[in-house]
């Protein structure tokens, strides 16, 4: 039985691979995609979500959620994802009608015969708004699987202590962790293990179709200080933050988790947006399955196999 999922996302280079993986995996039933501001402004993330859904031939609805964090100023990341969010890769503009994002989340959760797993791979603003505007609906969610946060030494990229998705809207994130629905946190301490370069996706690169072309561009769109494309043919690999979170739903064995109470600092002067794992068990019953280990080869093989199957299907469409 396929797991019903909704992807809440700020596409976004790594978001694109995650959405492709979901579209290619029969283990999940993608009910809808909801865009949120994050990597780039909502006008770009929502356009990208719709255009990607068209490319992938998805008939699920696409929603347009929050343009701003609950209270904070915005911190987009065009230096990482490019001004358009896809590293300059242009997809044909979609003609889809985008629905209001938070009502779409609520409708899809209510309409699903089975409890829905919400996979949040951007800032958590839409999710927090769902919880405040539709609390009883939010409680029907099976689990929130989030790409966000981190632990121990590897907890920050936006700042030394804070990962981007949490830092963009720490107040929203604090609400999500405290809400009471189980959370799986796929943080930087896990995703920084999930390095992917062209050489790890040999069948996809050889396939050469529309998905392969876009993935190749995205893997080559982020360059390190030496000017080497981290995901390119000579790169060590680009951390696949979001697709690891999706992979954890599709094939849970790609990660190993431990159960802890996790909270989010949202008032700190220098720690704002930090996810804090309570290893001492002092703050409350564990609320989060925290990802620690990654079976990198299993993850890379899943990406290579599924995205190649997707690319073959798109070439034949």
Q: Which residue has the tokens 């899943």?
A: 302
Could you say which residues in the range 91-130 bind Ca ion, by CB under 5 A?
Answer: 121-122
Catalytic residue list contains 241: yes
Q: Find which of Ca ion, ligand RIB, none residue 196 binds, CB within 5 to 8 Å per kind.
A: none
Question: Is position 148 an interface residue for Ca ion (rule: CB under 5 A)?
Answer: no
Count of H-run helices and E-run strands, the chain? 13, 12
Which residues in 8-38 are b (16+ Cβ under 10 Å) and which e?
bbbbbbbbbbbbbbbbbbeebbbbbbbbbbb
Which runs of consecutive H residues, i.e. helices, occur in 95-199?
101-111, 125-133, 135-138, 164-168, 170-178, 188-191
Q: Which is nearer to ligand RIB, 9 or 287 (CB)?
A: 9
Indicate which single residue of 5, 6, 15, 219 sits in contact with ligand RIB (rule: CB under 6 A): 15
133-172 footprint of ligand RIB as x/- string (CB under 6 A): --------------x---------x-----xxx-------
Question: Is position 118 an interface residue for ligand RIB (rule: CB under 6 A)?
Answer: no
Stretch of 4-12, 188-196, 250-258, 282-290 lying at the interface with Ca ion (CB under 5 A): 4-12
Out of 44, 81, 200, 241, which one is annotated catalytic? 241
Q: In the bound complex, which residue of the shown chain has the CB atom lying closest to ligand RIB?
A: 164
Question: Is position 22 an interface residue for Ca ion (rule: CB under 5 A)?
Answer: no
Q: Which is nearer to Ca ion, 72 or 134 (CB)?
A: 72
DSSP 85-119: SSTT--PPPP-PPPEEHHHHHHHHHHH-SSPPEEE
DSSP 33-56: EEE-SSSS-HHHHHHHHHHHHHHT
C-beta of residue 169 within 8 angstroms of C-beta of residue 123: yes
Could you say which residues in the range 233-252 bind Ca ion, by CB under 5 A?
Answer: 242
Contacts to ligand RIB by CB under 6 A: 10, 12, 14-15, 38-39, 121-122, 147, 157, 163-165, 241-242
Active site positions, annotated: 241
């Amino acid at each position: 039985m396929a797991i019903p999922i909704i992807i809440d996302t700020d596409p976004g280079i790594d978001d694109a691979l995650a959405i492709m993986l979901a579209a290619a995996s029969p283990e999940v039933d993608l009910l809808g995609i909801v865009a949120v501001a994050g990597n780039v402004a909502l006008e770009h993330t929502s356009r990208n979500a719709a255009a990607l859904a068209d490319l992938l031939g998805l008939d699920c609805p696409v929603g347009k959620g929050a343009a701003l964090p609950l209270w904070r100023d915005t911190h987009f990341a065009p230096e990482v994802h490019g001004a358009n969010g896809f590293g300059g890769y242009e997809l044909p503009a979609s003609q889809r009608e985008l629905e209001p994002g938070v009502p779409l989340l609520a409708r899809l959760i209510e309409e699903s015969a089975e409890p829905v797993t919400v996979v949040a791979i951007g800032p958590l603003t839409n999710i927090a708004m769902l919880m405040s505007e539709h609390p009883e609906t939010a409680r029907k969610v099976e689990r929130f699987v989030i790409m966000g946060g981190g632990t121990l030494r590897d907890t920050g990229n936006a700042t030394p202590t804070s990962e981007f998705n949490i830092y963009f809207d720490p107040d929203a994130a604090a609400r999500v962790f405290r809400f009471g629905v189980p959370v799986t946190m796929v943080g930087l301490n896990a995703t920084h293990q999930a390095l992917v370069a062209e050489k790890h996706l040999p069948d996809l690169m050889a396939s050469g179709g529309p998905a392969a072309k876009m993935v190749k561009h995205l893997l080559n769109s982020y360059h390190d200080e030496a000017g080497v494309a981290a995901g390119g043919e000579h790169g060590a690999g680009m951390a696949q933050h979001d697709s690891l979170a999706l992979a954890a739903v599709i094939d849970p064995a790609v990660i190993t988790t431990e159960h802890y109470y996790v909270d989010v600092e949202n008032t700190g002067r220098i720690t704002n947006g930090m996810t804090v794992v309570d290893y001492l068990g002092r703050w409350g019953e564990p609320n989060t399955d925290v990802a620690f280990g990654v079976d990198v080869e299993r993850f890379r093989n899943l990406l290579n196999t599924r995205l190649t199957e997707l690319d073959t299907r798109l070439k034949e469409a």
